[in-house]
Amino acid sequence: MTKKGFIFDLDGVIVDTAKYHFLAWKKLANSLDIDFTEEENEQLKGVSRVKSLEKILSWGNKTISEDQFKALMAEKNEDYLNHISKMDEDEILPDVPRVLQLLKMKEQAISLGSASKNARAILDRVNLKASFHAIVDGNDVTKAKPDPEVFLIAAKQLEVKPEDCIVFEDSVAGVEAANVANMISIGIGSTDVLGHAKYVFKDFTEISDEFITSLIEN
Ligand code: B16
Ligand code: MG
């Protein structure tokens, strides 16, 4: 049987760090007199830090200098890291450990494929680093999702062909990236948003051991 590559996005799949991104972006936007809602935060899921700030500034019709842009990015990240530093294993989303354990037992190849430059720090906080054979994150890519780069690097590191890889993603851009990479895309969230994924589940509690086994065997 061919070994499969299982690639996990981080924010929204393994942990819900979107709430911390929201708090940090809101604080920053409000300090610039820009309104920032949960709906707008949704649109930043899977989007890089630079692109996120560009979007917030355009929503608020603001133009700023390059130096100010850099300073705001650093400020936002410092605030975000402050939230991250308080995370622990309790923040791992339900049934993620069960699925990781099953994949390990079945000797499958497992990678992270995240846009976040803070991915390693987060995995450390929730004590999951050892569960991954490869970690590919925002520090390793030049092109952001929906470009497939992050997942193709992960496949290469796992030494598994893209068509033998399965991607778990909560963002539209991430599902698109997985599809472009010719991988099986599994959306975590709502069908309304992730309709382009091959399969969609609300969360990992809906993903059975039988389903994972069928992915490995087919
Ligand atoms: P950072 P993912 C993404 O992570 C987040 O969904 C997105 O909201 C965030 O802006 C991006 O990482 C960059 O994060 O500021 O930590 O580098 O979903 O691809 O794991
Ligand atoms: Mg995500």
The span from the first CA to the last CA of the chain, in angstroms, equals 9
Answer with the one of 84, 117, 140 that is the final residue of a domain. 84
Q: What is the pTM of this model?
A: 0.94
9 tagged catalytic: yes
Task: State the pLDDT at residue 120.
Answer: 97
Ligand nearest to the CA of 44: 1
Q: What's the average model confidence in pLDDT over 189-218?
A: 97
Pair (165, 110) in one structural domain: yes
Cβ 110 vs Cβ 8: under 8 Å: yes
Residue nearest to atom 15 of ligand 1 (CA): 49
Tell me, in angstroms, the distance from the centre of ligand 1 to residue 46's CA: 5
Q: Which residues contact 115 (CB under 8 A, 6 or more apart)?
A: 11, 46, 47, 48, 137, 138, 141, 144, 145, 150, 174
Pair (72, 116) in one structural domain: no
Q: Indicate the top mutation candidate among 114, 150, 151, 153 to test ligand 1's pocket, ranked by most ligand atoms within 8 A of CB.
A: 114
pLDDT class of 9 with cuts at 50, 70, 90? very high
pLDDT class of 163 with cuts at 50, 70, 90? very high
Tell me, in angstroms, the distance from the centre of ligand 1 to residue 127's CA: 19
Pair (9, 61) in one structural domain: no
Pair (79, 147) in one structural domain: no
Pair (111, 56) in one structural domain: no
Cβ 181 vs Cβ 199: under 8 Å: no
Tell me, in angstroms, the distance from the centre of ligand 2 to residue 185's CA: 13
Pair (78, 133) in one structural domain: no
Here the tokens at position 214 are: 């069928």
Residue nearest to atom 12 of ligand 1 (CA): 116
Ligand nearest to the CA of 18: 1
Task: State the pLDDT at residue 142.
Answer: 94
Ligand nearest to the CA of 171: 2
pLDDT class of 162 with cuts at 50, 70, 90? very high
Pair (59, 95) in one structural domain: no
Q: Could you identify the atom of ligand 1 that is nearest to the CA of residue 169?
A: 18
What pLDDT digit, counting tens, does each position of 58-102 carry?
999 999 999 999 999 999 999 999 999 999 999 999 999 999 999
The CATH number of the domain holding residue 113 is: 3.40.50.1000
> Would you give the DSSP letter of residue 97?
H
Pair (101, 48) in one structural domain: no
Task: State the pLDDT at residue 46.
Answer: 86
11 tagged catalytic: yes
Q: How far is CA 210 from CA 205, 214, 215, in A?
A: 13, 6, 9
Pair (193, 105) in one structural domain: yes
Q: Is the pLDDT of residue 2 over 90?
A: no
d(CA 191, CA 199): 9
What pLDDT digit, counting tens, does each position of 38-66 carry?
999 988 988 999 999 999 999 999 999 99
